[in-house]
Amino acid sequence: MENFVSTFGFAIAIVVATFVLAFMINRVFARLIRSSVLVLQNDPTNYKFLRHMVVALVYIVGFSLAVYTIPDLRALAGSLLAGAGILAVAVSFASQQALSNIISGVFIVIFKPFRINDRLRIQTYEGIVEDITLRHTMIRDFENKRVVIPNSVISNEVIVNANLADDRIVKWIDVGISYDSDIDLAKRIMAEEVRAHPNYLDVRTPEDIENGVPEVTVRVILLGESSVNLRAWAWARSAADGFVLSCDVYESIKKRFDREGIEIPFPHRTIVYKDKK
């Protein structure tokens, strides 16, 4: 009886030590990731994924040692291994999805279609990548909600990454004016308002400047049913800056159009009544 109590107590001690060690590893990796991102400006994706792998390995080894130290459980494990054929088939079917998520997570970290802090659009979801674990990828959307997508699912989807290779983004500023309005004046106003915004980025090369390429391009893109549709190409350093730029520029263009007498029309319908004779 005393031997069983001491063995069981030793197993409990191993379990407690496992939790403590996993907690300490989490703290160390958290500090490493924080210093790596803030000081060295490194990509934290590999560090975060490695943290999840190391912590999972610590739990597996710790619980396995705890089970092995108890003779009764050791004997039970041996008897289960004797009939491992059917058990292996059942486990393989049960863990197929889990293994697929782990392998997909490893491929994501190796080939890097996206990284931590990248802005993604997947299916109907759009947001910032917060974490990549062994099982899933966590995305924070723009309503501050967390979207958890299994790695096996995300590996089979078309991903739109706004930060892959180049963080710069171009926003289309589309505005319709009436057919009676001055197109040249409207184009000049749109270019001036885009250029005056602090988030605007001039992406012209020295060769473009030498050839007289305009800083902001504004073109007529459509002659609609009730409006002449204009588009300005507005560049920004990032998606976040581009969003603020587009919102502010739409407002400033509307105010300038009002002052300059440029009409933004609404659809008109002509209704014809035919007398029945």
Task: Please write down the HEC assignment for all residues of 98-111.
Answer: HHHHHHHHHHHHHH
Q: Domain 113-164 belongs to what topology?
A: SH3 type barrels. (2.30.30)
Q: What are the angstrom distances between the C-alpha of 142 and each of 90, 136, 164, 188?
A: 41, 19, 19, 33
Question: Do 253 and 196 meet the contact criterion of CB atoms below 8 Å apart?
Answer: no
Q: For residues 55 and 30, give the distance between their C-alpha atoms in angstroms, rounded to a whole number.
A: 12
Kindly report, residue by residue over 39-79, the tens digit of the pLDDT: 555 666 666 777 777 887 877 777 777 777 766 666 655 55
Cα–Cα–Cα angle for 24, 30, 33, rounded to 5 degrees:
140
Average pLDDT for consecutive 10-residue bins of the chain (277 residues)? Answer: 62 79 78 63 66 78 73 59 52 64 79 84 89 87 90 87 83 93 94 95 90 92 91 92 94 95 82 70
Taking domain 169-260, whether its CATH number is 3.30.70.100 is answered by yes
Q: pTM of this prediction?
A: 0.60
